[in-house]
Structure 1
Amino acid sequence: MKSTLKLSLKANEKLYINGAVIRPDRKVSIEIMNDAQFLLENHVLQPEDASTPLRQIYFILQVMLMNPQGAPDARDMFRKSLPLLLASFGDEHILASLKQVDRMVAEGDVYGALKTIRSLYPAEQAALQGGNDREKLRDFEPLAMGAR
């Protein structure tokens, strides 16, 4: 049995599906009836907002969904960035979740990986504000930023 996903979009709200940008001119509900890689506009991270280690890795994975032609390069960047990110955190929950993100990306579930990363933002914020990862995170440097 195939599962379907019903989405409701407001007028002019963008939806990114398999690299295509869809923007309805009025409120609309759509059903995605098969597997598709998609991203809702409110989950799109702008380059200037990729200001923390997790947001930087999120941005890299986001490129894979929004720009299928650039997906191989983004995947390579993810593979190079993930070990640096894992070495930057001491929090076991974050580390376990990042390993899960790695598995999801390997299995082609980039959307699930993005959702998992978004769920880690509060833990990352706590680490940045004074947790035991603060000094390590300050030294984290992304491999690349701002591909538009």
Structure 2
Amino acid sequence: MTLRISLRDGEKVVINGAVIRASGRTDLAIESKVTILRGREIMSPAEATTPARALYFHTMMAYLDPDGLSRHHAAILAALCAVGRLSHGETAREAMATFATRAASSDYYRALGECRILMRLEQEALADVAEEAA
């Protein structure tokens, strides 16, 4: 099955660890199995500033860098524990359980989706705390 991706001028994509930047509007047809992240899915280490964001970053690295899996697994576990200590509510528990299942089966790309849910919940909780403090 072919994966088709359209990139805007200057948009980045990571394919099997290689960073590719579109020069002009670019359409890609990928015909083999690859690890791929579009620019909006890529997080820099400096952006991993909260437990949920750190979980996303380390999961992304496990997806992109299979040679460093043992190092990434340790970081994922530490970040997941931190998220668990801070997260409350049924939605967060479900997202953490689904994340753990996907990460345990090395389905890191889909685990990133659960991280995005956790990042949204974390952001909402931080906004609530800031609002209460004001």
Give the match's secondary structure for 1:26.
coil
CA RMSD of aligned residues (A): 2.2
Higher relative contact order (CA 8 A, sep 6+): 1
What are structure 2's unaligned runs of at least 5 residues? 130-134
2:109 to 108, 111, 115: 111
Alpha-carbon distance change, 72 to 18 in structure 1, aligned in 2, over 3 angstroms? farther
Conserved? CA contact 1:39–1:65, under 8 Å: no
Give unmatched runs, 5+ long, in structure 1.
132-148
Residues 19 and 65 of structure 1 are in contact (CA less than 8 Å); yes or no, is this contact kept in structure 2? no
The whole-number CA distance in structure 2 between the counterparts of 1:25 and 1:79 is 38
Scaled by the length of structure 1, what TM-score is found? 0.74
Residues 1-148 of structure 1: pairs in structure 2 closer than 5 A: 3-130=1-128
Sequence identity, in percent? 29
TM-score by length of structure 2 reads: 0.81
Residue pair 1:18, 1:65 contacting (<8 A) in 2 also: no
Which has the larger share of helix?
Answer: 2
